[in-house]
Every structure is written in C-alpha cells, then in structure tokens.
Chain A
C-alpha cells in the first residue's frame, strides 16, 4: 500500500504543516528545535557547527524513517515517519488529533494517555514506528453518532475538570481503569488513576466521575 505522505515526513522537532510555523504553535516549534540543537551540541564541536543548518539539511537528506500502517479511531492510516516520532506527536502533529495533550513528554503526568490495542499507555514514550498493525483509540474516538461516551458524560455531570488540559488523558485512563475493574472503592480508583495529574486539583470530582461511569458499566 502506498504511503499517504512522502518520506520527508518530519520528526516531532520539525513541523510538517506550514501553519505550524505561525500562531501559537511557533513557540513550541522553536523550543523543540532549540532542544534538538542542544542535543547536537553535546555531541561535540563538529556537530555543533552543523546544528543551525539542521532543518535545511534534514529536508534534503531524510532521517531514518519507516512506513507504518495503523488504525486510529477505526480509520486506517499508512504513513512514513521519522523513527523518532512518538505516538503523541503522530496524533497531534500528523493526524491533527489534539485531544491527547503533551504535559511532560516524559511519562510522568498522563495527559497523553491513549489506548493501544485496548490498553492504556502514555503515548509520549511510545515510538510510533513500533505500532505496525496497532489499533489506537483517542478521546476523539469515544463518542458514537454524536452521543458522548458514558465516561465523557460522567466528567461533565461530576464537574470533573476546570481548565480541561488533563481531561482527555484522565478520560482515556479512566477507560482503562474501569475495564481493568479497579473501581471497587474511591481509594482504589485514586490509586489506579494516579498516573494522571490534574494541575487544577479536580481529583475528588474525577473519582466521582469514574465511580459514576463504573456503576453504569
């Protein structure tokens, strides 16, 4: 099957859509590019000299990349991506699914939680090249025919968010939590939802939302 995108498809550090260079995304791109240069600097003086040219150079000599076919929310995609692309960046930067959030990019906050083959994972530490044939579910894939998923409804009913940044990750993690049947009591839910931080401190309401959804499961 031919790939949807040419093999110059970018890593997380390089925008693959022109609009990513303007507007709010530009700061993130700048920061990401800066950190890539920092990494190159550490490799020694020769690499440091080449660093400012990194982005141009990459356009003519693509980094090692791989063609992968995977299913996201029921839709099949075949794309070639830089091997460094995380599942989180694949979703957000390549597929335009910005539900999963980048909080820490280090596995420590849960904002990027999605399901891979039915199990919850942190997508920031999952290399997308590994996901040949995998089925991914993100928060965008939960509603059915315009009806919210019971967990989404429960988060609204229980007022389980304030700014909402952590919410997609909370909901996807809650889906795992309920399917794993770790909903015996509030204490158990707290422990099994502890991979998801909420900067707004909505924890009591999040626990209630998970309880509500678990009751109707």
Chain B
C-alpha cells in the first residue's frame, strides 16, 4: 500500500472542499482499502466521510424512499420501510458480500465499487480500465465470469453490485452533491458502459459526493424479489442475477420492471422482457416466453457462453417466484 494522508470530514462542505483538492472519499473502505493494498488505487489523501449525516432512510413528501449514501448495507437491508415496499432491495443486499462486510460497507460505496475482473486487480497485468490503452487480456484469457451485454472492444468486465441491479429495476436516482448544488441522476445513467473509455465508470464529476439513492414512488404497488446464481451458495459474486418487480391486478400484469446482474458491464434493464409481460396473464408459459428475450443482444465470449442460457433461466425462475407459478 502506498502511504497517504488521512483526514476526517467534519461536514459536507469540508468533505467537498477536501475532495476538490484531490482527496478521495473513504466510506466503509471495503473496496478502497482492498484495492489500495493491491496498489490498484493510490490516493494521496483519504477523506473519511463515514461520520457525515447521510445515514438515514426517509420518506420524502412525494413518497420517494430516500436511502442515505452512508447507510450501511446491513442497516438498509434490515430497514422495515424498505423491506415492506421493495423486498428486492433487501434481498439483493442480504445476498451481497458477508454479514461482517455489510456492517461497514455503505450504499454509496456499493454503487462505486470496482469490477472484480482479476486482471484489473493485478497491477502486473495489462488492463484498459486500470491503465487506458494497455489492452484487455480478459478477451483472450480468463473471462468465465465476465459480461455478455454492454461490452466493448476495450473492456468486458461486469459491474459487480447486486444492489445496483435492484435499484435499476426500480428506476432509482442517485443524488449527487457538487460545488454547484445537488442533482439527481438516474442510476442507469450514473453507471457508464465501457465504450472506448472503460476507466470512466460513473457520472460523478471531480470531488462530487453521492448523498443518497432515491427510489421513486410506485403508485401501483410492486411485488418484487431478487435471485442470485453463483458458484457457491454465499459470499460470492453473481454469475447471473435477476431483479423482478411486478404489479398484477385483476389477473393481469400491469407493470413489469426487470434488471439483470452478473451479465452486463452495467446493471442491465430488460425492456424486451418487460414488453412481453405487460397486459398478459401470469402463466408458466408466459414466464418462459418472456425470459427467452432476456439475453437479446448478448455477445458472449467462448468462456462465458453459458451465461446466455443461464440468464434466461434465472429470469424465468424469478418471474415464477414473484409472479406465481401456474
């Protein structure tokens, strides 16, 4: 690990100031400290924000569910308000990392976590994300866990967050505070696909701070849930995952919101599946027909071709869990 100066932010303004002068936010540290030890990250100054007052979960006047960026993953997962309205969020959180990581890891840090691509984590390897222009050894090398959707010539790494998949399905916004004030960015626009600039991963400007995640009100109550498929039962990242939220009334699907994880360079919304579901009556046949479109546009590599079929089955299974089997 390279040495660094440690500072603790006493307020939002101090945090922004310190970051504008080149400081790096430290929330739970479960991504940053790990990558600093690998010397993938080499911040000269750490700005500890864990004590800032951005930890609450609140309901705003218009019914938006606001989760503070510094709420710990464990706290958000156990929050009765979130669980009642959006179990998919709590399930995604509880299937993430481990209990002793979730006590310190934060919601904001979770969205900002870096890819688990082994070449990215190995400073002796080439990697376009870590060293722009150095190449992408994953393409020809080990890429079993890599993305099949949203990839580019430059990078095929997945975004590893489970939470982000649930939030993408629910049309959540990321609230961002900068020198010019606060703005809301849709999560699906906040995380960037690699394109020609895989080192640019998010929409934050220099020094900007995530203050909260907003889940908008859904006037039609949603049933929701998260399914994560992985190499072992727990403490493992997704090979594939599905966040499913449905509103069914009078035996007809009125609303369908789906996103997939473990397969995209960013959390992957599934509009083709959603379109196939809306206006239809739930049935096992429908789940299977709709899920058949989950991998539309996929461009797998030789080592992760299995994900195309696995994704469809993951989506089908979770449609059955949330929408009912018949």
Contact = CB atoms under 8 A, between A and B. Distances in A.
Interface string A95-111: 00000000001111010
A157 to B, nearest CB: 24
A63 interface: yes
Contacts of A38: 39, 123-124
A127 B33 contact: yes
Interface string B39-52: 10010001010100
B99 interface: yes
Contacts of A84: 1, 3-4, 36
A210 interface: no
Contacts of A126: 29, 33, 104
Q: Which of A43, A125, A194: most chain B Cβ within 10 A? A: A125
- The majority secondary structure among interface residues of chain B is loop
A173 interface: yes
B9 to A, nearest CB: 12
A127 B29 contact: yes
B4 A195 contact: no
Interface residues of A, number: 44
A183 interface: no
A106 B29 CA distance: 11
B304 interface: no
Interface residues of B, number: 31
Contact of B98 (A63, A86, A105, A110): A110
Given A43-B2, A113-B100, A197-B235, 13 more contacts: A12-B1, A39-B39, A64-B5, A84-B1, A106-B34, A107-B97, A110-B100, A120-B103, A122-B98, A129-B6, A173-B99, A176-B103, A195-B101
Task: State the 3 A-B residue pairs at the shortest beta-carbon distance, nearest first.
Answer: A195-B98, A194-B234, A39-B39
22 contacts: A36-B1, A43-B2, A43-B42, A63-B3, A82-B3, A83-B6, A84-B3, A106-B34, A106-B37, A107-B101, A121-B104, A122-B98, A122-B100, A125-B34, A126-B33, A127-B6, A129-B6, A130-B8, A130-B26, A177-B99, A190-B234, A194-B235
Interface of B: 1-6, 8, 26, 29-30, 33-34, 36-37, 39, 42, 46, 48, 50, 97-101, 103-104, 123-124, 233-235
